[in-house]
Structure 1
C-alpha cells in the first residue's frame, strides 16, 4: 500500500495542540465542561484548504529525516532505545510509517514541529536532558528571534536544525503522541497523507506569531467550535470535525493525554474516505462501515460507487455505520457511528451528529 500511496499523496504531519485551562478560566466558564482548549488556525484564501479552520502542520521534507537529528538528540542523552519506544514492534504498521517505522515516527514529528513553528511561531522544543524529562506535557521555548527564524526555516527546512544548535535545544518529539492517519480524497488536485499528533501544555504556552498563510489563530473550546460549525459560522473539513468529536469524549486533559501516550506507538486504520453516490445524496464512507470496499483503489477512489438506493435505505440496510451522509435537497449532513469499534482508539459508541462539513469538490 505504501508504494501506491507514495505516488499519489504527499506525506504531511499536523499537531492537535491542547492547552490546560487554569482554575480562573474554568471559573469564568471558558471550559464548557472541558478543562482544555485546542489551537486552531484559519487559512488564508491563497493557502491549502482556503478559509477553513485547521490544525497547524504541513508537508514532510527530506531534511526532516537527516541523521544529524539523531546526533542532536544524542547530545541530550537520548539513545536508540528512546527512538524505538515511539513504535510498538511486531504489529501492523500504519502506511505513513512504512517502510522504517522508527525513522518515520521521528521524522514526521520533526515535520509537525517545524511546520507549526513556521505557521504560528510556536517552537515545540526542549532544553532538558533525557534524565530530567518525565512529564506527559510538551515543552516550548520562547527566547528566539521568532520572525527571523520563521523566515529562514520557511525558505530552508534545514534551518530548524541550525536554530536548535544555536539555542541549545531539540524538537520535543516525545511530547507528541501519534493520534491518527488521514488520506485526502482522490479527486483533490493536491492530496496529503497526514499523520496527526497530539501535544498538550500544562501551562499557558508562549505568544503566537502567525505567518502569511494564516489569517487568524485562536485557542478554542472544541464543543464551542463544533456548535459554531453547525450554525455555519465557520468551516471544518471532515478530519477536523471528526477529531474534535473524538476529543470531547474526554473532559479531563490529563486523562486524554495519558490515553494518547499509551496508544501512540500502535497502528490504526488509514482514514481514507470512499465516496458513495445514492439516489438523493452522497455518502463519505470510512473504514469499518459495511459499505467500505474490501479492496480500496487508492488511485481512483473506486471511481465513486453508485447505489440505486436513497441515503436512508442505505443506512437501514447496513449493520455497521461509519460515515458522513449528505442530502443536498434537505441542506442536511450527518455523521453516523453504529456498531463500529476502532482499532487501538477511542470507542465513541453509537452516535448520530448533525454537522456542517466542507466536502471536497471534484476536479
Structure 2
C-alpha cells in the first residue's frame, strides 16, 4: 500500500536533466515554518502527547498542492529591519542557526510573522515576559491582512501595536533544503512553539483549504495509510515529535537538536536513479532510467 509521500510526476525527468547538466539548480529562498503545539484539555494519564497545528495546501497551489504542512513561508527582505525584540539575542540565534546575525533575525522574524499571517497566532507581547491574548478582532485582522499584502512590515506592525517579538517562545528544531532539481526551492528552518494562552488558531491562510489540530502519531498513521499527503520534512518532523508527552517537553528538547541541513541527493546506481535524503531512509526512491519510481 502506498503511503502519503508527496512525489511530483515531473521529478524523474528533472533529476535526469540535473544529472546530464541540462538543468541548472535555482538558489533556495530562505524560509521558516513553525510546528505549533498545544496540550489537549484532558486529565488522561499518561499524557497522550501534544497536538500539532497543520494546514492542507490548496490543490491549486503550484508547490506541494494538497499536502499537509505547518504554517510558514519565505523570508521577507524587511524581516531584517530593526525590530522590537525579546529573548535570546541576535548573536545567540546567529550561533544557533549557523548564519549571520541579520539573517538569523530575518529567519526568526519570518517564523513569527508567518505564524500570525497563516494561523492568526502571535508570538509577541507588550513586554519581554508577556504575550498578547485574543487576536481575532477586526482591527487585528486588518493588520494581519496588511502584513499578508506586504503593505506593512512586521517591524512596523510591532511598533504600531507596542509589542516585542518573543524569540524565546521559539525552539529551532531542524533544517531542510528543497532538492536541487525542484523549480521552487527553499532553505527552511523548522521551529517548535506552544500556543500562547488565550489565543486560538484559525484558517487565516489563502493557501490552505483545511486546518486541523492533530496528534503527531495520528497524523503519521494517516500518512502511512496513504490518507494524508505530506512532503518528507513534514512527516519526518511529525515522527520526531511523537515521543514527547507535552508541548513543554518538545520545547525543552529543541536546544539540543542538530540543525545540519537535510538535502536530497540523486545518484545513478546500477542503471537506476536513487533519490535519497541523508538520515531518512524511508524516503528513498529507486527510479529506473526510463520509468517510474519504486
TM band (smaller chain): 0.7 to 0.9
Q: Take 1:250 and 1:190, find their aligned partners in 2: how far apart are those partners?
A: 33
C-alpha contact 2:116 2:144 (8 A) present in aligned 1: yes
Q: 2:212 aligns with which of 201, 210, 218?
A: 218
- 1:71-126: per-residue Cα shift (whole Å, max 9, x none)? x23xxxx59x733333448xxx64xx2xx1x3322211111111222222222222
Q: Take 2:195 and 2:120, find their aligned partners in 1: how far apart are those partners?
A: 16
**Does residue 284 of structure 1 match 2:284?**
no
Q: Take 1:114 and 1:202, find their aligned partners in 2: how far apart are those partners?
A: 15
Q: CA deviation at 1:222?
A: 0.6
**Does residue 178 of structure 1 match 2:172?**
yes
Unaligned stretches of 5+ in structure 2? 1-24
Q: 2:48 aligns with which of 12, 18, 34?
A: 34
Q: Take 1:177 and 1:157, find their aligned partners in 2: how far apart are those partners?
A: 29
The alpha-carbon distance between structure 1 residues 161 and 18, as it changes in their structure 2 partners (threshold 3 A), is same
**Does residue 268 of structure 1 match 2:259?**
yes
> Which protein has greater RCO, CA pairs closer than 8 Å, 6+ apart?
2
C-alpha contact 1:123 1:142 (8 A) present in aligned 2: no
Unaligned stretches of 5+ in structure 1? 1-5, 134-138, 289-320, 334-363
Q: CA deviation at 1:140?
A: 4.9
- 1:304-351: per-residue Cα shift (whole Å, max 9, x none)? xxxxxxxxxxxxxxxxx845234689x998xxxxxxxxxxxxxxxxxx
Q: CA deviation at 1:150?
A: 2.4
Alignment of 1:10-29 (within 5 A): 10-24=29-43, 26=44
The alpha-carbon distance between structure 1 residues 209 and 168, as it changes in their structure 2 partners (threshold 3 A), is farther
C-alpha contact 1:117 1:150 (8 A) present in aligned 2: yes
Q: Secondary structure at the match of 1:275?
A: strand
Give aligned pairs, total.
264
CA RMSD in angstroms comes to 3.1
Q: CA deviation at 1:179?
A: 1.2
C-alpha contact 1:183 1:194 (8 A) present in aligned 2: yes
Structure with the greater alpha carbon radius of gyration:
1
Q: 2:58 aligns with which of 44, 51, 58?
A: 44
Alignment of 1:98-113 (within 5 A): 100=100, 102-113=101-112
Report the counterpart of residue 142 of structure 1 in structure 2.
134
Q: Take 1:274 and 1:157, find their aligned partners in 2: how far apart are those partners?
A: 39
The alpha-carbon distance between structure 1 residues 279 and 141, as it changes in their structure 2 partners (threshold 3 A), is farther
- 1:149-170: per-residue Cα shift (whole Å, max 9, x none)? 2221112164333322232212
Q: 1:86 aligns with which of 93, 96, 108?
A: 93
Alignment of 1:47-62 (within 5 A): 47=61, 48-62=63-77
Q: Secondary structure at the match of 2:200?
A: coil
The alpha-carbon distance between structure 1 residues 286 and 111, as it changes in their structure 2 partners (threshold 3 A), is same
**Does residue 201 of structure 1 match 2:195?**
yes
